[in-house]
Amino acid sequence: MNRRQFSRQMALGAAAPLMLHGLTPQHIEPKLEKIKPKRLQAGDLIGLITPGSFIPDAALEKAVKNLETLGFRTALAPNIRAKMGYVAGTDQQRLDDLHGMFANPEIKAVWCARGGYGCTRLLPRINFNLIRQNPKVFIGYSDITALLNAVWQKTGLVGFHGPVASSTFTPYTIEHLLAVLVEAQSPHEIPLAIDYADSTDPLFQYQTLQPGKVQGTLAGGNLTLLSAMAGTEFAFNATGKLVFMEDIDEKPYRVDRMLTQLQQSAHLDKALGFALGIFSGCTADAGDESLTLSETVSQQLVGSGAPAVYGLSFGHVQHQCTLPVGIQAQLDTQAKTITLLERAVL
């Protein structure tokens, strides 16, 4: 065997243990320096984009009013009123708006005006170097999960799983939004929204699935999007993470299917803990032969022994907190809180 053949065999041999354990190179996260954006201040110019679905004029007007009420100025992306079927313009138009807002030094935050399908289509063409060189607050939820996680994986930039600009900004939502993005509170304890929501509302019923207290790096988002990225360059990896998840209008069997996919692709068994938000509309129809949502998530998550809860105040609901992707946080199942242990902005 000559030297070239020997070197090739050695390389294949070194890769074998990874393949045996199902860890292809795409599952190994690079060690990136954590990048925190600058905190927001009154008067800052906020760029509004629609990287997913089209936003009607009434919702866009609400988005602008929401941010102006908080004391910010707004700038609309050039293609924000574009429409192509179910998405907000062509992929190139939405990509241009994303890149343009990050490249513009006058823009202090990039705020998604709404979520909706279409974000995953942009991932392979995003200029992550541009984003890394121009870090700023980037915020949204639901399908924006795809962008938040991809940006964090590729650049190290802390993103924010929080209300889209057209959300209903309740006092709870505003309190925890400003605490994270403007006041940079640390530590910052996020309790349930029981002082704002009707305590009898079935959406806001807290449940401890597995008791305990744990701290780790916050990561996650919308369950449907996390599962949709499985098998791609941007696949979610739960190993060593404090995983948060939420969803809307998915039957328990579909929630089960997506969690099963993540069990087999994202190493949920290696997560440090699970902080589940509110899965609104995720119930079986009357008469269905189905597990309940609670039974479904318990079967999928409790076996790992990691602390796990359901019903924290985030998701497709009015009272939602803002969770930074990529910072240290603590889940306390007894206190019913998530506490952000470090500032997410500078």
Q: For residues 101 and 127, what is the distance between their CA atoms, to the nearest angstrom?
A: 12
Q: For residues 144 and 163, what is the distance between their CA atoms, to the nearest angstrom?
A: 10
Residues whose CB falls within 8 Å of the CB of residue 193, separated by 6 or more in sequence, listed in order: 172, 204, 313, 319, 321
Catalytic residue (choose from 53, 142, 167, 265): 142
Catalytic residue flag (residue 21) = no
Handedness of CA 16, 19, 21, 27 (dihedral sign): positive
Catalytic residue (choose from 53, 246, 267, 304): 246
By the 8 A CB rule, do 113 and 62 touch?
Answer: no
Residues whose CB falls within 8 Å of the CB of residue 50, separated by 6 or more in sequence, listed in order: 77, 80, 88, 89, 94, 97, 112, 113, 114
Catalytic residue (choose from 99, 176, 188, 316): 316
Q: For residues 328 and 218, what is the distance between their CA atoms, to the nearest angstrom?
A: 6
Q: For residues 205 and 164, what is the distance between their CA atoms, to the nearest angstrom?
A: 24
Catalytic residue flag (residue 295) = no
Backbone angles phi, psi at 216, to 5 degrees: 180, -175
By the 8 A CB rule, do 238 and 275 touch?
Answer: no
What does the radius of gyration of the chain's CA atoms come to, in whole angstroms? Answer: 20
Amino acid in the structure at residue 275: A
202-207's contacts with Cβ under 8 Å and 24+ in sequence apart are 203/278, 203/280, 203/317, 204/278, 204/311, 204/313, 204/317, 204/319, 205/311, 206/309, 206/310, 206/311, 206/312, 206/336, 207/294, 207/309, 207/310, 207/311
Catalytic residue flag (residue 142) = yes
State the residue for tokens 């190994």.
28
List active site positions: 142, 246, 316
